[in-house]
Amino acid sequence: MSDKKIIFSGIKPSGRLNIGGYIGALSQWVEMQDKYNCVFCVVDYHAITVKQDPEQLKTWTMELVKTYLAAGIDYKSSILFKQSDVSAHTELAWILNCCGARIADLNKMTQFKDKAGKHQESATVGLYDYPVLMASDILLYNTEIVPVGEDQKQHVELARDIARRFNKEYAEIFKVPEAVVRKEGARVMSLQDPTKKMSKSDEAGLGCIELLDDIETAKKKIMRAVTDSDSVVKYDLKNKPAVSNLLTIYSYLGNKSVKEVEKEYDGRGYGDFKKGLAEVVAKFLQTFQDKYYAISDGEVMDILSSGKDKAAKVANETLEKARRAVGVR
């Protein structure tokens, strides 16, 4: 790797990504590739913290790699790999469980409480402990910057705490990473309920546009999106959350500032605005899908094999240092 700062980030292969995931994560990753040394992972071990159909998981993993590539991730300049292909992730996670993480740390994690809900006693240990695996993912690569959504920032803070604790109690091995959250557009909300994050389970799919949605279907979803009480196209997150959400989507997918979009639709009302947005979304999806469907499964396997070798070289060096520090080497 060059002297640029190192970034690590990953997404679970637990379903198809939507435009919210593209705007909040993938587009940010693509922009970072020129400025940083990037390590991008398909975190399939995180996916199995809840029950998955094995064959579906394999399919989603392949689809996610193609999504990374179609979005603009350059596997030649960045490291792109599958988490389960590099055993150092789970081995370091065990070391950190024993020599860094604390029960008190994990008891503070809001994601477990949100996902397990009233069924915490029957939830898997993996769902409770996966923030430590996430810390392992990050610390293995001497990561300095972790681009995340607001809901994952707490986990990066845990990685920071574990790194500091390990470095103090054993040896100065881990770099202390920093979370970077894109402020505007970090959370794209449901088209049907702007108080909730966009999800494929929204309103029979009407609240969510997946990256592989049929183009005409996606345009219809935009036209059926909820708006606010007046007819002014203006960004005002507090008083106009629905239109503000649509403006965010228009801005990122249409490569225009929010101010430019507001000016374009000044005095024109929501009908014209949503028609314009529908065309912007359609154009983006068509370009994305053309790239996606041009990638073969064979290409994906070759890219993952190459990425595995690159990732393992870095990860195993860090793991060996941690083993020696705690006395198991």
What domains does the chain contain, in order, with CATH numbers?
6-185+296-326 (3.40.50.620), 202-292 (1.10.240.10)
Contact 36, 270 (CB under 8 A): no
pLDDT at residue number 186: 62
The pLDDT tens digits of the residues spanning 202-247 come to 656 899 999 999 999 999 999 999 999 888 999 999 999 999 999 9
This prediction's pTM = 0.92
Unique residue bearing structure tokens 């592989």: 212
Average pLDDT of the chain, as a whole number: 93
User: Hey, which bits of 25-176 come out as E strands?
Assistant: 37-42, 79-82, 145-147
Host H or E run for residue 180: strand 178-180
The pLDDT tens digits of the residues spanning 70-93 come to 999 999 999 999 999 999 999 999
Contact 208, 29 (CB under 8 A): no
Cα–Cα distance measured from residue 84 to residue 10, given in angstroms and rounded to the nearest whole number: 12
Query: What is the sign, positive or negative, of the torsion defined by CA atoms of 290, 292, 297, 298?
Result: positive
Contact 210, 200 (CB under 8 A): yes
Cα–Cα distance measured from residue 299 to residue 317, given in angstroms and rounded to the nearest whole number: 28
301: which 2 tokens? Answer: 């396997």
Host H or E run for residue 8: strand 6-11
Give CA separation, 120 vs 12, 114, 126, 200, 233, in Å: 21, 10, 12, 24, 44
Residue 86's DSSP bridge partners are none
Length of the chain: 329
Neighbours of 278 (CB within 10 A): 19
Catalytic residue numbers?
115, 197, 200
pLDDT at residue number 256: 94
Give CA separation, 141 vs 232, 233, 291, 319, in Å: 48, 44, 29, 10
Cα–Cα distance measured from residue 274 to residue 284, given in angstroms and rounded to the nearest whole number: 15
Give CA separation, 97 vs 47, 50, 79, 162, 317, in Å: 19, 20, 26, 9, 19
Q: Which residues of the chain have pLDDT under 70?
A: 1-2, 182-186, 200-204
pLDDT at residue number 183: 62
Amino acid at 25: A
79-82 and 145-147 as β-strands: parallel, antiparallel, unpaired? Answer: unpaired
Query: Which of 136, 121, 66, 96 shows the shortest CA–CA distance to 304?
Result: 66
3-class DSSP assignment, residue 307:
helix
pLDDT at residue number 205: 83
